[in-house]
Structure 1
Amino acid sequence: MDRLNGSPDGAETIVETDIPARLDRLPWGRFHWLVVAALGITWILDGLEVTLAGTLSGALKASPVLQFSNSDVGLAGSAYLAGAVLGALFFGWLTDRLGRKKLFFITLGVYLVATAATAFSWNLWTFMLCRFLTGAGIGGEYAAINSTIQELIPARVRGWTDLVINGSFWVGAALGAFGAIVLLDPAVIDPEWGWRAAFLSGALLALIILFMRMWLPESPRWLMTHGRAPEAEAVVAGIEARLRAEGHVLDDGPFPKVRLAARRGTRLAEVAETLLTRYRQRTAVGLTLMAAQAFFYNAIFFTYALVLTDFYGIPSSHVGWYILPFAAGNVLGPLLLGRLFDTLGRRPMIVFTYAMSGVLLAATGALFAAGVLTATTQTLAWMVIFFFASAAASSAYLTVSENFPLEIRALAIAIFYAIGTGIGGVAGPWLFGALIDTGSRLSLLSGYLLGAGLMLAAAVVMALYGIAAERRPLEEVSRPLSFRD
């Protein structure tokens, strides 16, 4: 139960609460499945958007209106990522100030309008602007959703849940690939209208998600740090009542309590001091993991279709068939490996998945340069690589979202996502697009080796400096800034 105590001089309000312990002791129930479904939708949207950008690249190049080059396709991908970077920073800051739930609707609304507008682009610059705004909406969702996952899911399954939700990106990728197969088929629809309809499908999905989000509660942990203890208590009591109605037996306590000083927000100077001084080692680890996986993923996946069309002669209308098995490997990785992040632990599993991703990409790149792969064997190789890389990338988000204090969690996620993506992601699609334009397999191999080297370096950094956060309460992994003894 919660209690608010005003200090004698009225300068500080103390919230004494057992909410964190009560949330962590909950059995897994229908509520948690609903959280996974409603929040995982965001990654489905992102997967849909990224896949559409890749699978539609051939149609965008062939469009009599747009007439994109390979470099234009890569530039548009970079515009999407640049929007995601800035959107994450701005909306992440708002998420810590205004709450998780409000931002769910704001960021989804930005995405919905922007992706619908993409369908009506008439040149490179309007297309890039719409992609930039679409990315801003998705980037904002990252901060709100990853923080909410951490704050609602019990500690004992936090790793697996986070990885599975982040891995749902590839469900969207499969939807995007299948949609492209249908919408780029000249027998079904004129390709010039097909790529436009593909982007409108993303807006339609977002409209459905707006209604799904209605039932999501505000994070009780966010409410308690903002002095709204009665609201936080009501949310947790409602979850407990729902689980009891399902037949679960809940421990009635008593539970350990924490004492927090309520605050409206956190000064940016305090954010900087926390990241650069108090937790500078964690900051270095988080940036390394995020930058490596961002370059690895975005550089390769944004130009996936170009490799198939330019080097293997696959028609753009058939690219979706090659993305479906690739997406399956990405979904299965977090799903099958995720439990090990909670049992064997964060550090050994993150090191293993990052290192395997790097080694396998370097080996596959060498085979590609030697010309011994076909489109089918290339796809199978990528499927195996990204079985591990998907778990690795998801674990980067897990790391930065649980290793920093509650009061700056959303902004910290946004900062790491923004810097990591800015360093590793924005330049990647453009670089790989330029390498593909050379028509040289050896040139493209150099890009693959760079991506592999970054993943191996990240594995070393995690092995040396990572922390064990598995099965530990968030307040123990990183004590809240407002904690009072």
Structure 2
Amino acid sequence: MTHSASDTARTTDATLLARLERLPVARRLTLIRVVIGSATFFDAYTVLVIAFAMPQLVTEWNLSTTQTGMILSAGYLGQLVGALFFGWIAERIGRRNTLLITIVLFVSMDIACLFAWSGTSMMAFRFIQGIGTGGEVPVASAYINEFIGGRKRGRFFLLYEVIFPVGLMFAGLAGYFLVPHFGWRALFIVGLLPALLTIPLRRLMPESPRWLAAQGRLDEADTVVTMLEKDAVRHGHTLTEPVVKPVSPEAGTRSDWRELFRGVYLKRTLMLWALWLCVYTINNGLITWLPTLYKQVFHLPVQTSIYYGWITSAVGVAASLLCALTIDRVGRKRWYTIAFLVATVPLLALTALGATSATQVVWIAPLAYAALQTIAFSLYLYSAELYPTRLRAMGTGFGSAWLRAGSSLGPLMVAWIVSGLGIRYVFTAFAVLTVAGAAVTAFFALETKNKSLEELAP
């Protein structure tokens, strides 16, 4: 490319990004959020549904505590593989095509789970299904982030992302109403609904204009941005003049995973990995095990155990919504530090009280979960903000791989501690992790509020 052509490409890229930054949240952007949010809703449902099937499966298949922990962890191990693999794929074939593949994969394995006949078969199917669910969320997060400007990004993205804890809560409701009357397989039948999403996803969703521009496909990126501008004007919005700022051109720059561990990105990568690991070891250790603990440790009926587990999910949704509406004002770094420290208090309270009754756990554990859930569901936003377009899906995928590692470790850790030491020491171990998360955030996190993606990640 000649010097003149390079300058032209750079100017075109900067103009496209400026036009994207000033776009209002019009109907087409809302439609994108709804369709991708629906996929994420069922991803969350698929992730957690096994927790509410498990109390019945323990009895039906005569599962040991270790086998239960392995089944709960299998899906998360698959998600680790999916997050790494599909984050890499999304940088090469695009966000939209990758999302289609992940949805087809986790729906097909949902069908397989219907026909599981033992703990081993369920473990295998959940592992493969996890590969699809693990790929969907980080790629969807990169996709959504790349459509919106810095000042509106936190609220816009998190009102999409709040659908994930809502999906977790819905899994609990489905378990409460369906399992006692129709058995655990009914939960997996509900999980077939996302297959319908492949139709609007293919027909109505444009490819990410930032990804297209990063691939040097500037004409296609311009077509997408022009379509969004026309949609905004058609629905009564007035577009301000784009403020063009110099940017480092990414067009033609190949993504290279090694860049995640060089320069300014090394500290960001390690910091994010620590946050993902801390928060998800605790939260998925809690949310996946609580229904089974209520039944096995406190000997509550199956339906009551599922209901108590659902309470934890519901409190997490309320906290997530509050976070979505206010994090743009508070800032990511300050919110995360406070949330980690707030979560430490109920965890230490359960340690001190001994967690000797289901009443203690159902009143106190959800408080820790709620505080941590505001971090857990918004880390996709924060991760996507810290990497450039050429690394965004890959960086978010690599980071969320530690989500999967923590989510696998959490249920196994609960099983080991309950079997060896007793339930109270589960909460002690979790409190240590919240303090570690607060320290990492306070010393190493970067504030991102009100900044464009290009300002944050050159």
Q: CA deviation at 1:279?
A: 2.0
Task: Tell me whether 1:402 sits opposite 2:391 in the alignment.
Answer: no
In structure 2, C-alpha distance between the alignment counterparts of 1:123 and 1:233, rounded to whole Å: 52
Task: Tell me whether 1:236 sits opposite 2:225 in the alignment.
Answer: yes
- Give the match for residue 53 of structure 2: 56
- Give the match for residue 105 of structure 1: 100
Q: CA deviation at 1:240?
A: 1.1
- Give the match for residue 211 of structure 1: 199
- Give the match for residue 142 of structure 2: 147
**AA partner of residue 293 (structure 1):** V
Q: CA deviation at 1:73?
A: 1.6
Q: Deviations over 1:267-324 (max 9, x none)?
A: 3xxx324424432221221111111011011211121112211232221233332233
Q: CA deviation at 1:259?
A: 5.5
Number of residue pairs matched by the alignment? 455
Secondary structure of residue in 2 paired with 1:256: coil
- Runs of 5+ consecutive residues of structure 2 not aligned to the other structure: none
- Give the match for residue 452 of structure 2: 473
- Give the match for residue 343 of structure 1: 329
**AA partner of residue 466 (structure 1):** A
In structure 1, C-alpha distance between the alignment counterparts of 2:250 and 2:98, rounded to whole Å: 24
- Give the match for residue 396 of structure 2: 413
Q: Deviations over 1:161-214 (max 9, x none)?
A: 3333333222212221222223222xx33xxxx2122112112x2112223423
Task: Tell me whether 1:326 sits opposite 2:308 in the alignment.
Answer: no
Q: CA deviation at 1:10?
A: 9.4
Q: Deviations over 1:352-403 (max 9, x none)?
A: 1122122322223433x152x443x532323322221111112322222111
Secondary structure of residue in 1 paired with 2:210: helix
- Give the match for residue 171 of structure 2: 176
Contact residue 78 and residue 426 of structure 1 kept, 8 A: yes
In structure 1, C-alpha distance between the alignment counterparts of 2:230 and 2:248, rounded to whole Å: 25
**AA partner of residue 375 (structure 2):** A
Please show how residues 38-437 of structure 1 align to structure 2 within 5 Å: 38-63=35-60, 66-185=61-180, 188-189=181-182, 194-203=183-192, 205-214=193-202, 215-253=204-242, 255-256=244-245, 258=247, 260-263=249-252, 265-267=254-256, 271-367=257-353, 369=354, 371=356, 373-375=357-359, 377-422=360-405, 424-437=406-419
**AA partner of residue 321 (structure 1):** Y
In structure 2, C-alpha distance between the alignment counterparts of 1:470 and 1:125, rounded to whole Å: 46
In structure 1, C-alpha distance between the alignment counterparts of 2:146 and 2:268, rounded to whole Å: 19
Secondary structure of residue in 1 paired with 2:335: helix
Contact residue 260 and residue 269 of structure 2 kept, 8 A: no
Counterparts in 2 of 1:254 and 1:155: CA distance versus 1, 3 Å: closer
In structure 1, C-alpha distance between the alignment counterparts of 2:9 and 2:288, rounded to whole Å: 49
Secondary structure of residue in 2 paired with 1:426: helix
**AA partner of residue 373 (structure 2):** S
Compute the TM-score of the two structures, normalised by the length of structure 2. 0.93
Could you tell which deviates more after superposition, 93-102 or 324-333?
324-333
Contact residue 48 and residue 172 of structure 1 kept, 8 A: yes
Contact residue 288 and residue 420 of structure 1 kept, 8 A: no
Q: CA deviation at 1:254?
A: 5.7
In structure 2, C-alpha distance between the alignment counterparts of 1:171 and 1:285, rounded to whole Å: 27
Compute the TM-score of the two structures, normalised by the length of structure 1. 0.88
Q: CA deviation at 1:257?
A: 5.3
Q: CA deviation at 1:261?
A: 4.7
**AA partner of residue 32 (structure 1):** L
Secondary structure of residue in 2 paired with 1:260: coil
**AA partner of residue 232 (structure 1):** A
**AA partner of residue 425 (structure 1):** S
In structure 1, C-alpha distance between the alignment counterparts of 2:448 and 2:74, rounded to whole Å: 35
Contact residue 276 and residue 283 of structure 1 kept, 8 A: no
In structure 2, C-alpha distance between the alignment counterparts of 1:364 and 1:43, rounded to whole Å: 32
**AA partner of residue 408 (structure 1):** L
Counterparts in 2 of 1:70 and 1:164: CA distance versus 1, 3 Å: farther
Greater helix content: 2
- Give the match for residue 482 of structure 1: none
In structure 2, C-alpha distance between the alignment counterparts of 1:459 and 1:48, rounded to whole Å: 29
- Give the match for residue 19 of structure 1: 16
| Paired-residue identity, % | 27
In structure 1, C-alpha distance between the alignment counterparts of 2:50 and 2:158, rounded to whole Å: 24
**AA partner of residue 213 (structure 1):** L
- Give the match for residue 30 of structure 2: 33
In structure 2, C-alpha distance between the alignment counterparts of 1:317 and 1:274, rounded to whole Å: 46
Contact residue 350 and residue 364 of structure 2 kept, 8 A: yes
Contact residue 362 and residue 448 of structure 1 kept, 8 A: yes
**AA partner of residue 393 (structure 2):** A
Could you tell which deviates more after superposition, 109-118 or 120-129?
120-129
In structure 2, C-alpha distance between the alignment counterparts of 1:463 and 1:283, rounded to whole Å: 16
In structure 1, C-alpha distance between the alignment counterparts of 2:142 and 2:30, rounded to whole Å: 17
In structure 1, C-alpha distance between the alignment counterparts of 2:148 and 2:362, rounded to whole Å: 35
Q: CA deviation at 1:12?
A: 11
Contact residue 290 and residue 397 of structure 1 kept, 8 A: no
In structure 2, C-alpha distance between the alignment counterparts of 1:91 and 1:431, rounded to whole Å: 28
